Structure 1
Amino acid sequence: MKINDVAKLAEVSLATVSRVINGKKVKESTRVKVESAIKELNYTPNFMASSLHKSQRNMILIIVPELSNPYYSSILQGIEVTAKSLGYNIILGSSYSSEKQLLDYINLLNTKLVDGIILMERLSREKISEKIKDENVLKKIVQCSEYIEENSLSYVTIDHEKAAYEAIHHLLSIGKKEIYFFSMKNNYTYSILRRNGVIRALKDNGLELKKENEILLDNLSIQEAHKQMDIILNNRKIENIGIFTVSDIIAIGILKSLNNKKILIPKNVAVIGFDNIDFSMATSPALTTISQPGYELGVESVKCLVRKITDIESKPEKIILSHELIVRETTN
């Protein structure tokens, strides 16, 4: 089945069919007719072949810090489903915290091998500009989840500070006055904002984040969190403690340590994670966590990016999605 058949059945031009497939603006009634014809004929666009004859490749590059983090799975699912529905294919790359590798990926946009980038890694505008000089090309980068406000690029995220504030408020509401905060030794926006939320929540309740209660990890790993929690358990009085972590992965390591030491959860120590990864429901006890709308983050990132690709005059967008505190057994 060819694109000509779709155009004939929908009674429109080939150019109109192409615009619908590529997610460009057409009248809604026209879009419905074309999409109906595509469905009826079971037509599958050959994006790779068509891209050889035009400057637009119908290809989106997704850059994540590391593929092993389960947090990204639902985001990637939202990205893939939405991109396909709008006529785009995706390429997935991981930087593994290598700035050189990250910039090499960014350069694919500069060389027009991809039409746009969804960036889930932290990279300053100054660094991006080392590869991309054209302002209109640079606009075709959308920051997802992690972002830098000063980049003046579109981003899709949640209110990290508010989410952390709610987590600490919950711990205080169940009587946990000795608050620990587990984070990372990095300058990621999400870490900074969540820390701000912790400090503000404590201050609003006449408390402060003690220096010795802020635990900064070298690596985002269950093993590292387990190791640091063991040190705390061996050297401090364990009573009336509430722990908030920037990742469910860290929280899982903490629970492993607490269980090994036979610490009662949440009676002696309550724990809240962040991200609501699938495994958070299977921990013992089940983990209270902040749920990010991963799938929706992916969906909105693609929609935002396609708007930038198809309209270079469009302004940067700031899209803040809702989060949710999921209360489970580690605090209940």
Structure 2
Amino acid sequence: MKTNLMKKKSNVTQTQIAKALNISVVTVSKALRNYPDISFETTQRVQKLADELGYTPDLIARALSSKRSNIIGVVVPEIDHSFFAAVMEGIYAVAKENNFQIILTVSQEDDQREVENLQTLLAMRVDGILVSVSQKTTDYSIFHLIEKKKIPLVFFDRTIPDKRFSQVVVDDRLGAYHAVEYAISQGYHRIAHLTGPLNISIASERYLGYREALEKNKIEVKEEWIIQCGFSEDNGYRGFKKLVDNNKSDLPEVIFAVNDPVAIGIYDAAEELNLDIPQDIGVIGFSNNRISKYLSPPLTTVMQPAHDIGRNAVQLLIQEIQNPMKYTPRQIIVQTQLVVRESCLKKLA
């Protein structure tokens, strides 16, 4: 039997592997997924033969037969931002510990692509879905459809205002508040903000934290110094240029950026405009991208523990997958930490 299988490697099934090794199909299935109740020796034999034969699992067939695919779908808005890469590291680690596979899709900040990604994951019969929404997302009907289908769904970082779903977020408002209060403690009072789309939770919460810090310290909130842009480096570049063009005779002293990519865009525009950071303009970011400490000057920013966000999000999802009847939606709020570097030094007298 094994000889015949070796001659034809295409469409090899678990049944054929089981017959070749004289064990049950159930044992083969568990060995391929590293179940602890299968001995190490048997697992090695099964996986060795599966590799030799080029066996690939039929995930949809598995889902149909067992009502469980052991697959988790993930939708993120982009992968250029190292924050999402770090989140995914946390997701992958916990998924592996619990014998789940991950299918990652990227919306590229497009709400229609996001819907298409979610529809694809539903067609693949994933056990649950993790989502961080795109900056264009305003229609939540696809998420309500997923809920009706009783597919567990957890949001992380960028969420929707619906308490029926579990969420893992950082305290964006408090993180922004601390960032702006730090600038004030350094002697700055003319503080602008490049925010993201305010329909997105992280942008609106950071915007509110910015305003609260100014108001608490009795500093005027100048609406002309609040520029709504996006979350990318190009958005930061264009947003800062717009701020300068609109306020040539009344420039702020410090810019609080909605995230580090936007802050990097400010660096690029400032260099082009011959503005020195921090002597001419201070900059504070949010997220502590891996590149931020290598900028010139290194960027003062708000650290959000991305790896922990990923771990917490997938843990919540697995709990809901495994105990759907006993599960109650939860919100986990992870704390931030201000990382002081050289882009917002104490103002010279």
TM-score > 0.5 by shorter chain = yes
Structure 1 residue aligned with 2:339, among 316, 326, 329? 326
Aligned partner of 2:197 in structure 1 is 185
CA contact (8 A) 1:142 1:153 kept: yes
SS for the counterpart of 1:182 is strand
Match for residue 239 of structure 2? 228
Shift of 1:276: 0.9
Instruction: State the partner residue of 1:149.
Output: 161
Distance 1:43 1:70 in 2: 39
Matched, 1:282 2:294: yes
Bigger-Rg structure (1/2): 2
- How many residue pairs get matched? 306
TM-fit CA distance, 1:44: 8.5
- Contact 1:199–1:209 (Cα < 8 Å) also in 2: yes
> Distance in 1 between the 2:197 and 2:251 partners?
27
Residue matched to 1:300: 312
Other structure's SS at 1:274 match: coil
Deviations 1:269-328 (CA, angstroms, capped at 9, x unpaired): 211011111111111100011111111111111111100100002100111112111111
Give, in angstroms, the shift of residue 35 of structure 1: 8.0
Partner of 1:87: 99
Counterpart among 170, 187, 204 of residue 216 in structure 2:
204
Q: 2-side partners of 1:203 and 1:194: how far apart? A: 14
Match in the other structure for 2:143: 128
Q: Is residue 248–residue 275 contact of structure 1 (8 Å, CA) maintained in 2?
A: yes
Of 50, 59, 77, the match for 2:71: 59
Once residues 343 and 221 of structure 2 are traced to their aligned partners in structure 1, the CA distance between those partners, rounded to angstroms, is 21
**Cα shift at 1:116:** 0.5
RMSD: 3.1
Query: Do 1:61 and 1:114's aligned partners in 2 also have CA atoms closer than 8 Å?
Result: yes
Please give the per-residue CA displacement for 1:248-285, whole angstroms capped at 9, x wherever unaligned: 11111112222334433323321101111111111110
1:48 aligns with 2:57: yes
- TM-score scaled by structure 2? 0.77
Deviation at 1:240, TM superposition (A): 6.5
| Cα pair 2:302 2:339 within 8 Å, conserved | yes
5+ residue gaps, structure 1: 4-12, 23-33
> Cα deviation per residue 1:182-212 (whole Å; 9 max; x = unaligned)?
0123410111111111111111000232111
- Structure 2's unaligned 5+ residue stretches are 1-16, 19-25, 51-55
Q: Is the contact between residue 71 and residue 101 of structure 2 (CA under 8 Å) also seen in structure 1?
A: yes
- Kindly provide the CA deviation profile for residues 76-102 of structure 1, in whole angstroms up to 9, marking residues without a partner as x: 111112211210111111123443332
Counterpart-to-counterpart distance in 2, 1:209 and 1:38: 65
**1:230 deviation in Å?**
3.4
Deviation per CA, 1:133-176: give whole Å up to 9, x if none. Answer: 23x32xx0010111123242001111110001001000100011
Scaled by the length of structure 1, the TM-score of the pair is: 0.81
Rounded Cα–Cα distance in structure 2 between residues aligned with 1:69 and 1:85: 26
Alpha carbons of 1:110 and 1:261: their partners in 2 closer, same or farther (altered >3 Å)?
closer
Contact 1:176–1:240 (8 Å) recurs in 2? no
- Code of the residue aligned with 1:321 in structure 2: it is V
Equivalence for 1:317: 330
